[in-house]
Amino acid sequence: MMNSSAVSHFTLSAYMDTGPWRYFFFLIVLCLYVLIVLSNVLLVVVICVNRSLHEPMYLFLCSLFVNELYGSTGLFPFLLLHILSDSHTVTAPLCFLQIFHIYSYANVECCNLAVMCYDRYVAICCPLQYNTRMSSNTVAKLIALIWLFPLIEVAVMISLSAPLQLCGNIIDKIYCDNYSVVKLACSDTSVNNIYGLIYTVIAIFGFLTSIFYSYLRILKVCFSVSKQMRQKAISTCTPHLASLLNFCFGSFFEIVQSRFSMRRVPNMLRIFLSLYFLTCQPLFNPVLYGLNMSKIRILCKSLIFGKM
């Protein structure tokens, strides 16, 4: 039995010996990371420098793109280093730092999508009250809530996991995961389990319930207005709904892999499933919003080609 403070490193056992193929995988991952950074930075710059986009919907989008940069930076440099390395170990402090980074990214993403859903609900169901409800002061408070609540929530989770007494240091993944660390514990983890249950209830019955309710109200309005207004509402909600479904899809993969044994699943497929919500969401959102929203698309072209 040993305290996690005495564990100098964790071993990530899910990495495979790819031999000379490691350079090919390194190049693919590097290209993905560069593409994520360039696309998200472009959209953040476009929204920040154009005053015509300083509206609630676009400010929430800007927060979403900043979070994609934040999440991918917590994974890709780490992943690139380990693809080329023969020793897949990580120091304990760096492991907990990565856990904080990845979990806070996922929570900020969930909060951001929930707030964006509320914004669309107010815009479609209460259009006359939109400017009053979504004032600049309200938007600032919502963006602060999007970031502060998840950071505090994850900080509490790590403060409960770090002092645990551990019986091992092998994590069967390609990045550090809080649930994997808790499973290594020899000491009582009841407090961690209770907090995890509260955390899950807030995520599922809090954010998902509010999102479900908002879309029910939006659908009710869509069926009661003219065809033109219905098409406009659907086109406005489609990118957000697609992003939300993609995130839920990736999160489901991650939860299944963490909670159930995946020994019979091919290792390459396990790696893909564990990386899905950390890679596809940062790639998916810029393309989805950049191509679908004409206002952003036109401003992106003007910024790239210098045509106003």
- Taking only the tens place, the pLDDT of each residue in 163-203 is 888 888 888 888 888 888 888 888 888 888 888 888 777 77
Chain segment 115-166, per-residue pLDDT in tens:
998 998 888 888 888 888 999 999 999 999 999 999 999 999 999 988 888 8
How far out from the chain centre does Cα 165 lie?
A: 30
pLDDT score recorded for residue 60: 93
Min mean pLDDT across 4-18, 34-48, 165-179, 180-194 is at 4-18
Whether residue 3 has pLDDT greater than 50: no
- Terminal CA-CA length for the chain: 66
Chain segment 60-74, per-residue pLDDT in tens:
999 999 999 999 998
pLDDT score recorded for residue 64: 94
CATH assignment of the domain containing 204: 1.20.1070.10
pLDDT score recorded for residue 148: 93
pTM: 0.88
The burial class, CB within 10 Å (0-12 / 13-18 / 19+), for 25 is middle
Host domain of residue 195? 2-305
Distance CA 73, CA 190 (A): 32
The burial class, CB within 10 Å (0-12 / 13-18 / 19+), for 274 is buried
Instruction: Determine contact, residues 106/251, Cβ cutoff 8 Å.
Output: yes
Average pLDDT over residues 7-26: 81
The burial class, CB within 10 Å (0-12 / 13-18 / 19+), for 6 is exposed
Chain segment 203-251, per-residue pLDDT in tens:
777 787 888 888 888 888 777 767 777 777 777 777 888 888 888 888 8
Share of the chain above pLDDT 70, in %: 90
Name the domain count of the chain: 1
